[in-house]
Structure 1
Amino acid sequence: MGSIGIFFDYIKEENKSVCRRCKEKIGGNHVTNLKKHVRTQHKEEYEEWLNKQKTEEEDNLKNKKRNREDEDAAAGSSAKKLKQGDIRSALFNEVTVKINLETIENACINLIINGRPLVLMDDAAFHSIIDPILEGLKTTAKINRQNIRMKVIEKADAQRKKISGELRGKMFSLKLDICTKRGRSVLGINAQFIADDGHLYIRTLAVFDLAERHTGVYIISVLLKTLKTYSINISQIFCMTTDNGSNMVKAVKLMDADIEAAEIEQREEMVQQHTEEEEEECGLDNQFFQNDEEEMGQIRGFRCAAHTLQLTIADVWKSGKYSNVLAKVRRAVKELKNTNVVILLKLKKLNVAIIDCPTRWSSTYLMLQRLISLREFCVEYAGSFPNLHLTEGTWNIITEMLTSLQPLDIATKQLQSEDLLMGDLLAAWTNCVLHLISVGTNISEDLYKAMQKRQDILLENAIFCSSVLMDPRYKGLLSKQQKEKAITHLLTTWQTINLLEAPVEDSQEIGSAAECAEELPQTSADPLEGFLAQADEAASSAETTPQNSDEIKRILQNYSTQKRPVDLKNYASPMLYWKAKKADSHPNFVLYKLAQVVLSAPATQVSVERLFSGLAFILSPLRASIAPDLLESILLLRYA
């Protein structure tokens, strides 16, 4: 991490660095990212640290120069006494270092994982450094591109075995996306799960080179092949988060059909193996299965919330009400990007304009924000560049647009957190809606309506409702009907958990994957907190539904009407709360088991997007032909 590490504490389990000054968490421990945080957020401390670094470097250089002069003087006085056999020791300084072959090989592997080409392993300058070390180790091992390539693939295979063990017999969720770089299309697959330590983990399962059209059938065949590689039963999949592409939606539907068939077959085997008494103990009686037969076939898909939020903005723009203004804005921005105008901007030390891009999140907001900052420049040079002329009314509309889009920009940034839970999504969404109402412009009203429409779709998703219900922070945001939907889905999930935990032979465990391979408060200082408090009161005062004979359903119904726990703020996450409470009572243990599954459902596919950022780094113009197996191995290890 380097000396910049004095500002941070690194949490290895979460792969996050926590700033000791502001407590902000930063993914990983890359020096560049850490320096950027300190430089932008703690400027005075950064300058002090930087000056100290420079002073230390200058002192080190002076010491090295002084040492060299002393050594040269000593060598000159004794040169006459040297014999021919002592020439080598006079020319070369002998040093003793603690290192072994494994350390060297791992360093070479990390060079490749971090984007260096394999040809480096055969570079003469590199070997002038590495060969004397190998000679000193008295080893016959060779460091070359072929050997290190095999080492990378072997290490990736070991990582796959580790992931397979982590996921064995456990329900988890998937995130999928497709990316095209350098003429190559790849399918990125992430697994997301909550381990017994209460922390959420993301694992890269595959970065598959696609050789055919990206149809839903082809995507699902690749996914099933990947699951087979990890010995994963498709019934283990709780949720699949994708973008809104029709091929991805189709793939989820196909996958759901396979999961349904596998679960029905697995349940039939369980019924045959258990007596009636055993079935009652496990909550797996035949009547329980029959009542939920239809529920087993529901789609296990969830559409990326970050993409969905961008679609709400697109819905408003597509209405045509603001097309003329946006057209004028884009003409002005294009004029500002004219070479002659850019020169003038630089002379005045102003930022260059930004043009929006349909596929880039918040790009329209950023375009408007930058244009507003250049308003005086546009007014000054409108005579020379006509497209820069915008009326006072147009500028007022642009300002309204910017103010109205700000809550969505904030929400977009919040939704880009890798460990975002469904409850966090609903909280961010609700907070955004509340702020849009407070803005009170025509544009904010249109955005509010668009968000409400999309929110209704979100709340129809049983996975979303289930995950929010099991998040004690935000379950009060759900209506009575939505809680009932969630409970029904959680009962189904409980069945699957029991099926997966039941003892089965290894051949049965992976068989299915192998076969398929073929009105709102306005007075509170914090609108969201006031809304949550009101929702809690409504939930606790509502009539309780008639109790069901099934114990699990009764536990869930009782939990759904409870207020937020008083001690909830003592825990960093809702899952850590459930982990601490699971031993208190049997109901809490049941809720813990369910929360471990449903809270792992990904609200976005941001981690796959970041995986693709790494792909662009590895798949550089000079490495565009890298073999698929090596590319996948590098990315799997890079995002392990």
Structure 2
Amino acid sequence: MEKNKIIAKCKYCKTKNSKYSVINGATTNLWTHLKKVHPALLGISKSQRTLDLYKFDDRISEVIEGRFKNIIEKISKFHVVSTDTIKRDIMTKYIEMRTNVKIELHEILGKIAFSLDLWTSSVVKAYMGVIVHFIDQNWQLQQKTLDFFKIEGSYTGKNLANELIQVFEFYNIESKINGITVDNATNNDMMIYHLELWAIDKDISFCTNNHFHCFAHVVNLSVQAALKQLKDEIDKIRNLIIKSHSSPQRHQKFLEISSLNNIKNLSPILDVPTRWNSIYNMIQRALNLRV
């Protein structure tokens, strides 16, 4: 320490000229010394220095194959595998697990049930998740994810039915289908209708009576209808939360006011309208924050 300065000395060259000051935690001097005098320690060549040292917005694959990989290998002597190796290992494990599930479902003597859901990503791509439920040979309730795939084409009931039939046929479980649980969307009703037509053609015991509406979805619709009676009050709470989060300055001011009223480490919770329990959490937190 020299007058509130930390002096760092390079352990590789250990010369008097390798002393650098560290002020307020800044390590620029140390980094400059390494890249100029000891570039090999960072796994870079002279022609590579400027290009690699300042690539902070790389894609994941570039980070794994680039400077990050070199640093990890130099620091810990840890060999970072390539993206191709990671991909190959994941696919090998996936195929192994899928094969085991296929064998397990084949050995089941009774019927099996399914629950499905559609999900749309932030880039407007639709996916279907398929979960199977069954009693195993030890009389234990089991559930496994059979598939999660991108929906190609339109979201009509017929198209959804065709996508689901491909899953049934891959696992060779067409004759074991019992009930299918989905939410109340109209295209799901049409999907069940087209599944019934397919089952009749294949002489499979399945009809629209095997269609079950998701209880949680039904409850959510009921609660949403009841919450309309409190729309004005809920909108006021929601708008206050949105305003308090509209800028870092407003959020900081909110925290300061809360602290003055002995309310600490609590922030408002903004609801997700399609999840009624999130509305409950929003109201509960608002009551906790009320002065």
Structure 1 distance, partners of 2:116, 2:178, is 14
Instruction: Give the direction of change, closer, same or farther, for the CA distance of 1:346–1:189 in structure 2 (3 Å limit).
Output: farther
Q: CA deviation at 1:198?
A: 1.6
Task: Give, in angstroms, the shift of residue 221 of structure 1.
Answer: 1.5
Secondary structure of the equivalent of 1:299? helix
Deviation digits for residues 534-571 of structure 1 (CA, Å, limit 9, x no counterpart): xxxxxxxxxxxxxxxxxxxxxxxxxxxxxxxxxxxxxx
Identify the residue that residue 159 of structure 1 maps to in structure 2: 97
SS class of match (1:362): helix
Structure 2 Cα separation of the partners of residues 177 and 298 of structure 1? 18
Pick closer, same or farther for the CA change 1:126–1:242 going to 2, 3 Å. farther
**Contact 2:114–2:131 (Cα < 8 Å) also in 1:** yes
Whether the aligned pair in 2 keeps the contact of 1:120 and 1:126 (CA below 8 Å) is: no
Please say if residues 112 and 179 of structure 2, whose CA atoms lie closer than 8 Å, have aligned partners that are also in contact. Answer: yes
| Preserved CA contact (<8 Å) 2:258 2:289 | no
- Which amino acid is the alignment partner of residue 179 of structure 2? C
Q: Percent identity?
A: 23
Q: Counterparts of 1:125 and 1:240 in 2: how far apart (Å)?
A: 51
Q: Is the 8 A contact 2:238 2:270 kept in 1?
A: yes
Match of 1:316 in 2: 226
Q: 1:147 aligns with which of 85, 93, 105?
A: 85
Given candidates 253, 257, 272, the residue that maps to 1:344 is 257
> Structure 1, residues 75-130: CA drift from partner, whole Å, max 9, x if none?
xxxxxxxxxxxxxxxxxxxxxxxxxxxxxxxxxxxxxxxxxx56676433455645
SS at 1:158 equivalent = helix
* Displacement of 1:334: 4.3
Report the residue type matching 1:324 in the other structure: D
**TM alignment of 1:88-237, pairs within 5 A:** 122=65, 123-125=69-71, 129-130=77-78, 143-168=81-106, 170=108, 171-183=111-123, 184-233=125-174, 235-237=175-177
User: How far is 1:231 from its partner?
Assistant: 2.2
1:325 to 214, 233, 251: 233
Question: Cα RMSD (Å) of the superposition?
Answer: 2.9
Could you say if the C-alpha distance between residues 148 and 317 of structure 1 is closer, same or farther in structure 2, counting changes exceeding 3 Å? closer
Q: State whether residues 184 and 213 of structure 2, in contact with CA within 8 Å, keep that contact through their aligned partners in structure 1.
A: yes
Alpha-carbon distance between aligned partners in 1 of 2:258 and 2:180, rounded to the nearest angstrom: 47
Residue of structure 2 aligned with 1:372, choices 283, 287, 290: 287
For residues 277-331 of structure 1, give each alpha carbon's deviation from its aligned partner in whole angstroms, at most 9, with x where no partner exists: xxxxxxxxxxxxxxxxxxx63432222222221111112134xx43333344444
User: Taking structure 1 as reference, are residues 328 and 146 closer, same or farther at Cα in structure 2, changes over 3 Å only?
Assistant: closer
Task: List per-residue Cα deviations over 1:334-377 (Å, max 9, x = no partner).
Answer: 4555614344225544422223321124122122212222222x
C-alpha displacement of 1:238: 0.9
Would you say the 8 A contact 1:353–1:370 is kept in 2?
yes
Give the aligned partner of residue 178 of structure 2: 238
Paired with 2:208 and 2:151, the residues of 1 have a C-alpha distance of 28
* Matching residue of 1:37: none
Closer, same or farther: CA 368–121 of 1 in aligned 2, 3 Å: closer
Cα contact 2:157–2:189 (8 A) shared by 1? yes
SS at match of 1:207: strand
Cα distance per residue 1:608-635 (max 9 Å; x no partner): xxxxxxxxxxxxxxxxxxxxxxxxxxxx
For 1:439-478, list aligned pairs within 5 A: none
State the match for 2:21 in structure 1: none
- Structure 1 residues 335 and 127: CA distance shift in structure 2, 3 A: closer
Q: Distance in 1 between matches of 2:85 and 2:284?
A: 52
Structure that is richer in helix per residue:
1
- Name whichever structure is richer in strand by fraction: 2
* Distance in 1 separating the partners of 2:149 and 2:256: 45
Task: Give the gaps of 5 or more residues in structure 2.
Answer: 1-59
Does the aligned pair in 1 maintain the 2:153–2:159 contact within 8 Å? yes
Q: Are the equivalent residues in 2 in contact too, given 1:242–1:302 (CA < 8 A)?
A: yes
Contact kept, 8 Å, 1:336 with 1:352, in 2: the verdict is no
1:335 touches 1:341 (CA, 8 Å); kept in 2? no
State the Cα distance separating 1:185 from its structure 2 match: 2.6
For residues 90 and 278 of structure 2, the distance between their equivalents in structure 1, rounded to whole angstroms, comes to 38
SS of equivalent to 2:147: strand
CA, structure 1 residues 354+149, in 2 after alignment: closer, same or farther (shift >3 Å)?
A: closer
**CA distance change for structure 1 residues 173 and 121 in 2, over 3 Å: closer, same or farther?**
farther
Alignment gaps of 5+ in structure 1: 1-116, 134-142, 267-295, 377-640
Tell me by how many angstroms 1:197 deviates: 0.9
State the secondary structure of the residue aligned to 1:166.
Answer: helix
